[in-house]
């Protein structure tokens, strides 16, 4: 597996990027979006804080369902979109890991609240 293969490429890992100037970001770029210097990947620990959260409600032929979507500010200073339990509160301490949907085999980041 290459250095840049993350969950979107089917690898079960979360990746961020950072530069020598200390900037860090999440969505993959060829260079640092702030200073333009070289980018290198890193694996964040996964701990962070819920910054924003929504619960999407779907009503279809298959009945009603809901999923939680959140933006998590990871402790390394990058913001990651992840699924979460519906109704997870802003400010909650969480840990993000890569999980797999049982039906579709799709990998995605999922965050769970760290018990206080």
Q: Toward other proteins, which CB reaches closer, 47 or 73?
A: 73
* H or E segment and range at residue 41: strand 40-42
Is there binding between residue 113 and other proteins (CB under 8 A)?
no
Which residues within the stretch 63-92 sit at the binding site for other proteins (CB under 8 A)?
67, 69-71, 79-83, 87, 90-91
Q: What single-letter DSSP state applies at residue 8?
A: G
Q: Does 57 bind other proteins (CB under 8 A)?
A: yes
Q: CA 111 to CA 99: how far, in whole Å? A: 9
Instruction: Say whether 13 sits in a helix, a strand or coil.
Output: coil
Q: Which of 16, 44, 48, 53 binds other proteins (CB under 8 A)?
A: 53
Answer whether 96's CB lies under 8 Å from 109's CB.
yes
d(CA 68, CA 47): 18
* Residue 13 touching other proteins (CB under 8 A): no
Residue ranges in contact with other proteins by CB under 8 A: 8, 25-27, 51-57, 59, 67, 69-71, 79-83, 87, 90-91, 106, 108-109
């Amino acid at each position: 597996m290459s250095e840049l293969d993350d969950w979107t490429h089917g690898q079960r890992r979360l990746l961020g990027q950072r530069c020598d100037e200390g900037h860090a970001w999440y969505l993959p770029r060829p260079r640092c979006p702030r200073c333009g210097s070289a980018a290198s990947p890193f694996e964040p620990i996964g701990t962070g804080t819920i910054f924003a959260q929504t619960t999407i409600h779907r009503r279809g032929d298959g009945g009603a369902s809901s999923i939680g979507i959140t933006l998590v500010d990871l402790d390394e200073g990058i913001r990651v979109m992840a699924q979460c339990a519906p109704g997870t509160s802003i400010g909650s301490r969480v840990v993000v890991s890569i999980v797999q949907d049982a039906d579709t085999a799709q990998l995605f980041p999922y965050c769970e609240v760290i018990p206080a």
